[in-house]
Chain A
Amino acid sequence: MHLILFIVFAGLCLAGALNLLLQKHPINSALSLVVVMTSLAVLYLLLGAEFLAAAQIIVYAGAIMVLFTFVIMLLNAGREERTLGSKAAVALGFPAVAAILAVIATVILKAQDLGSVSLSDGITSTEELSRVLFHELLLPFEVTSVLILIAILGAVSLARKGHGDQEAGK
């Protein structure tokens, strides 16, 4: 059962990621990224990270990617054009990435004491998660909330129309 679920959703993940690279239109890429994220949420569930699976769906698929599609729709971004830069990137990039992947894969496969996972492993409860988050890691949590606030302010001031337009508007 676990094997079937893993193969299906890992396959969906990889297919989505490949589709992201191959599609010409940004909106298709965005949707394949949504597929990747939702199938990752299922993989988190298989690893017993229940709350993270929900957060993955709500935050990534439901908020961040909606923002992406919203911007793509707003800008009506069309197909992209091939240029010289991308050819050089292809020529140099593919071997380099293949090398990185090979290195990481060797390290992972050589690792000795990696465990295994099964459906009966039990689930990390939300209570456990929040106890660590709000007791031991309270300061980082508060700092990230400040980060979010700064990001909101930055986004608002960046996306607002230029100063000239604004004064004309007033």
Chain B
Amino acid sequence: MTIWWFVLWSILKVLVVTVVLLTAVAYTVLLERKVVGRIQNRWGPSRVGPFGLLQPLVDGAKLFLKEDIVPTSVYKPLYLLAPVLALGCALISIAVVPFGNPEVAPQGFRIFQISDVNIGLLVVLGITSIGVYGIALAGWSSNNKYSLMGSLRSSAQLISYELALGLSLVGVVMLAGSLNLRVIVESQAAHGLLSWNIFGGFQFVAFFIYLMAAYAETNRAPFDLPEAESELTAGYHTEYSSMKFATFFMAEYANMITVSCVATLMFFGGWTSPLGNLIGPFQNQIINAILPIFWFVLKVFFFLFLYIWVRGTLPRFRYDQLMNFGWRYLLPLAILNIVGTSLWLALKQ
């Protein structure tokens, strides 16, 4: 009987998290349009609702009501499968992310994490690596040279930067001694800001490698070559319209959110407070449960803002520069970081 309660509870959590995540995706798009607008000295969307806050709803309605075109020469099964795969993989990996303190569990039901997996970090990396298929198949099945170019670029880029991304996280895993995201966060909880991996764990090199590799993994500026408008019209989603285009769009932003969550968990102490125990546990249990979520959301918001800031500031790389950067600088640096961290750990013992 208990297993069915567990299944029911999991389904409920999945529904809530999916709805919250999709809302967050919609408002990240709005945030991007607003911030990039301000960077370019204009207002951004401001007409629908107060400060343009209802713009995501209108955008969604517009994309939903547009005519759905399937070009005649596409390879239909894969053409239809690709957006589903892209969005599916982008949404699934959020399942192992702990949003708040998972110890908060009334009646034994954990509220703030869908599933507490021993190998949570590997699950995130694995699902991200499956996400490549969405983009690769979209480009190939469209039967369009721009799409194919975009998807070839994208798969080569994703394979190359996945190495640097994975290796940059090894240092953190060694410090925590676990692949479980909850344990990794708890290992940084002792002294607030000072025990976060980026400061206390001396992982700032790893953090910058992760940040750059993550920008390349999510196809964002300055590494957005797979959809470089000036050379490839729209890259792999040139032939997609209406909701199918929107699906790719949502997948890109959901990936951004996942990557920001992982950065928060790995380097910035997850849900722990930057002040440590200075503002200690409160009397009120509800505040104690909600406050971690506030810190977590704040940190993720910071990373999303950084994404947009970088997009508004830096020009796009050239393709050979991108590959050289990944293989010649990021990868050796990541390996050096592993060697350094393990030496430090060995000497400390």
Which residues from chain A sit less than 8 Å from chain B, CB to CB?
Answer: 1, 27, 31, 34, 38, 50-51, 54-55, 57-58, 61-63, 66-67, 69-70, 73-74, 123, 125-126
List residues of B (106-126) whose CB comes within 8 Å of A's CBs: 118-119, 122-123, 125-126
Inter-subunit contact A70/B129 (CB<8 Å): no
**Residues of A close to B122: CB separation below 8 A:** 51, 54-55, 58
Inter-subunit contact B133/A50 (CB<8 Å): no
Inter-subunit contact B78/A67 (CB<8 Å): no
Q: Quick one: which of A1, A62, A70 has the most chain B CB within 10 A?
A: A62
Given contacts A54-B122, A73-B148, A126-B119, 12 further A-B contacts (CB under 8 A): A27-B140, A31-B133, A34-B133, A58-B126, A58-B129, A62-B126, A62-B129, A62-B130, A63-B162, A66-B129, A66-B133, A66-B158
Inter-subunit contact A54/B133 (CB<8 Å): no
A73 CB to nearest B CB, Å: 5
Q: Please measure, in the bound complex, the distance between the C-alpha atom of A34 and the C-alpha atom of B125, giving whole angstroms.
A: 16
B residues contacting the other copy or chain, number (CB 8 A)? 26
Q: Please measure, in the bound complex, the distance between the C-alpha atom of A1 and the C-alpha atom of B7, giving whole angstroms.
A: 11
A27 CB to nearest B CB, Å: 7
Q: Please measure, in the bound complex, the distance between the C-alpha atom of A152 and the C-alpha atom of B179, giving whole angstroms.
A: 28
A57 CB to nearest B CB, Å: 4
B208 CB to nearest A CB, Å: 23
Inter-subunit contact A125/B118 (CB<8 Å): yes
Q: Quick one: which of A57, A58, A123 has the most chain B CB within 10 A?
A: A58
The 9 listed contacts between A and B (C-beta, < 8 Å) are A1-B3, A27-B140, A54-B125, A57-B130, A62-B132, A66-B158, A69-B155, A70-B156, A73-B155
Inter-subunit contact A54/B123 (CB<8 Å): yes
The residue on B at minimum CB distance from A25 is: B75
List residues of B (63-92) whose CB comes within 8 Å of A's CBs: 78
List residues of B (123-158) whose CB comes within 8 Å of A's CBs: 123, 125-127, 129-130, 132-133, 136-137, 139-140, 148, 151-152, 155-156, 158
Inter-subunit contact B132/A73 (CB<8 Å): no
Q: Quick one: which of B119, B125, B136, B137 has the most chain A CB within 10 A?
A: B119
B128 CB to nearest A CB, Å: 8
**Residues of B close to A51: CB separation below 8 A:** 119, 122
**Residues of A close to B119: CB separation below 8 A:** 50-51, 54, 126
Inter-subunit contact A61/B129 (CB<8 Å): yes
**Which of B3, B126, B132 lies in contact with A54, CB distance below 8 A?**
B126
A74 CB to nearest B CB, Å: 7
Inter-subunit contact A70/B136 (CB<8 Å): yes
**Residues of A close to B159: CB separation below 8 A:** 63, 66-67, 70
Given A34-B133, A58-B122, A62-B130; A70-B155 close (CB under 8 Å): yes
B258 CB to nearest A CB, Å: 15
**Residues of A close to B3: CB separation below 8 A:** 1
Given A57-B126, A126-B179; A66-B78 close (CB under 8 Å): no
